[in-house]
Chain A
């Protein structure tokens, strides 16, 4: 029997599921290697079917999701969260900083806020259930996803690089945008995996893959200050796509009320 795989969506933009759909021929090849039993965006619908690998996209942002993620966990041997929403709460977790609670925002934004059912805080999948592997990024890198699947099919543990973006830059011969242009690049504290796309196009990394292993954010923030960033700008560098990730959360807080 072929291994069974599911892809689940929680609060997200669906962009990480596109890692599968945009893979084209690789997705067809995958469909020959495994049974994709649940993947609403691509067609198959069987959310409670037992699976060997469950991919989870999105954050836990509603009461319904908080219940549903437990069913996904129970039905899966191996659970992989994919993308910034699933690994760190995503962009929608910026609401976690609103001390007034989520109603404060829904009242300000929606004509009929009573239709919006939302938890006060958006959280990562690993805050709710045990996660076996996290693949970071906004969006995830399709190559990383397929490599992880291949390794699991071999019965080996997936290896996920956690070094800094700088090393991907240097291997590709990309010139450092922080050193030559003084742009506030988060590469030195951000996990590799994207292929250093932003610096390759001459702009600074904004940390969409979340914190790298052993991130030393404080001296980088001081460097940003030296480059002319105001404290609130420094806070926003860290409180963005991965605002709730350990390392980025604290560093942003250190600056959101002024120079620490």
Chain B
């Protein structure tokens, strides 16, 4: 938010969708209340958004409730946001064909992604995208599939005034205010929305909308609500740089404790907006003359993930959970310059048995370092 922040009255909110379509974004996705949660789905009009819906999140539990408010973003998050759009859960990477004379030919599967605008992304979602970009786009081997899809996106962030019980973005420093990674930033008030630009594309869009400036009182209300959203969060991580603390406790007894409770089902890694592990495999057609090479989401909680030629390195759950946590909160610093956790709390809510990463991290760091 800045001096250029403008105000879009609630009754005129459809104008934002029209402006996005006018800017070439034929596909607009936003949160829609479906299947007991909030899913990013195509939006035709502002009324498709979940007005008066609130999420109640606890470890291993998610419910939607109705509440008396005109607001459409009075909730924290659903199971997914950007990750499935940029890093596809399952996709062919290439196809191979064998001709009658035995020659092999290979075809790329790269698509031409449709320009897509996303409305209602949280600060944690944008921070997570930044981490995925570091992995997929800015490493030694940039990923063209990811890059093309990423470049087709226009990101509308929505400051969060309603964190769930499972949220801890204030602790990781990634939210709840929209401060980076957005083309357009937004915050919701009962009477409408404040909008501000984060990129040139966002600025151009705001110029098209030609809205009045937001009042200082409106900006103060948003600042106050965002501050309360941060203060209201009860969960924390025991620090932002836990690599040394965790590495000094690789033999801690608590790994066994969590290993006994953990199902090693991989739900945490699937909903984690920064987890990027995948597996690749070939699916030959029955005739044997063509084959598809696929990449799909995998998980460090799978045996296959640590299968090294002839044996599984991490055969039990204790070692798999330790791998996940020490990577996410520890060695991620070496690889990407920061922790891999953005405090969205999804791994807590969507864990079938409600394992809480913040509680486990605190419990581990309370133990004495390894001898």
B231 CB-CB contact with A under 8 Å: no
Bound-state Cα–Cα, A147 to B261, Å: 35
B270 with A166: CB separation less than 8 A: yes
- B contacts with A: majority SS: loop
Once A153-B288, A163-B304 are accepted as A-B contacts, the answer to whether A179 and B350 lie under 8 Å apart by CB is yes
Known: A188-B267, A214-B316, A223-B60. A179 touches B284 (CB 8 A): no
Q: Which residues of B contact A161 (CB under 8 A)?
A: 304
Evaluate contact between B262 and A216: CB separation under 8 angstroms: yes
* Chain B proximity mask over A169-199: 1 for CB below 8 Å, otherwise 0: 0111101101111100101110000000000
Q: How large is the interface on A (under 10, 10 to 19, 20 to 34, 35 or more residues)?
A: 35 or more
Indicate whether A29 reaches chain B with its CB closer than 8 angstroms. yes
Q: Which residues of A contact B283 (CB under 8 A)?
A: 147
Provide the bound-state CA to CA distance between A222 and B79, in Å. 24
Residue-wise, chain B 27-40 has the 8 Å CB interface mask toward A (1 for contact) of 00000001111010
Query: How far in angstroms is the closest Cβ of chain B from A180?
Result: 4
A223, chain B: closest CB distance, angstroms:
5
Convert A35-49 into 0s and 1s, putting 1 for each residue whose CB lies closer than 8 angstroms to a CB of B.
Answer: 000000000000000
Tell whether A167 pairs with B36 under 8 Å between CB atoms, given A159-B281, A162-B303.
no
A–B pairs, 25, beta carbons within 8 Å: A30-B286, A163-B299, A163-B303, A166-B267, A166-B352, A167-B270, A170-B79, A170-B89, A170-B266, A170-B270, A171-B89, A173-B39, A173-B80, A175-B34, A178-B60, A179-B61, A179-B350, A188-B263, A214-B315, A214-B317, A215-B263, A216-B262, A216-B264, A219-B263, A220-B352
Please provide the 6 A-B residue pairs with the shortest distance between their CB atoms, ordered closest to farther.
Answer: A170-B270, A180-B36, A171-B89, A188-B265, A175-B35, A188-B263
A170 contacts B297, C-beta separation under 8 Å:
yes
Contacts of B263 in A (CB 8 A): 164, 188-189, 215-216, 219-220
Given contacts A164-B266, A171-B89, contact A223 B353 (CB under 8 A): yes
Given contacts A150-B286, A182-B61, 6 further A-B contacts (CB under 8 A): A170-B79, A171-B270, A175-B36, A175-B79, A179-B60, A213-B302
* Residue pair B265, A167 in contact (C-beta under 8 Å): yes
Is B84 among interface residues, defined by CB-CB distance under 8 A?
yes
A46 to B287, CA, bound (A): 26
The reply to whether A170 and B352 contact each other, CB–CB distance below 8 Å, is no
CA distance A147 to B286 in the complex (A): 7
Q: Is A116 an interface residue (CB 8 A)?
A: no
Q: Tell me whether A115 is interfacial, beta carbon within 8 Å.
A: no
Give the residues from 250 to 303 in chain B that come closer than 8 angstroms, CB to CB, to chain A. 260-267, 270-271, 281, 283-288, 296-299, 302-303
When chains A and B are docked, how far (Å) is the Cα of A123 from the Cα of B62? 41
Does A29 contact B284, Cβ atoms closer than 8 Å?
no
* Chain B interface bracket (under 10, 10 to 19, 20 to 34, 35 or more): 35 or more
* Closest B residue to A143 using CB positions: B283
User: Is A110 part of the contact surface with B, judged by Cβ < 8 Å?
Assistant: no
Using an 8 Å CB-CB cutoff, how does the interface string of A129-171 with B read, 1 for contact, 0 for none? 0000000000000000011011101100001011110110011
B90 at interface, CB cutoff 8 A: yes
Within 8 A of A (CB), among B312-361: 315-317, 349-350, 352-354
B310 in the interface, Cβ–Cβ < 8 Å?
A: no
CA A168 – CA B123 in complex, angstroms? 28
Question: Is there a chain B Cβ closer than 8 Å to A26's Cβ?
Answer: yes
Q: Write out the residue numbers on chain A whose beta carbons fall within 8 Å of the beta carbon of B317.
A: 214, 216
Question: Which residues of the partner chain A approach B315 to less than 8 Å between Cβ atoms?
Answer: 214
* B39–A154 touching, CB < 8 Å: no
Bound Cα distance from A218 to B271, whole angstroms: 23
Contact with B along A201-245 (1 / 0, CB 8 A): 010000000000111101110110000000000000000000000
**A238 CB, nearest partner CB in chain B, Å:** 14
Residues of B within 8 A of A167 (CB): 265-266, 270, 297-299, 302
- B63: interface (CB < 8 Å): yes
What are the residues of chain A within 8 A of B286 when measuring CB–CB? Answer: 26, 29-30, 33, 146, 149-150
Within 8 Å by CB of B302, from A33, A163, A178, A185, lies A163
| Residues of chain B with a CB closer than 8 A to A153's CB | 288
Knowing A146-B286, A163-B304, A175-B37 touch, does A185 contact B281 (C-beta < 8 A)? no
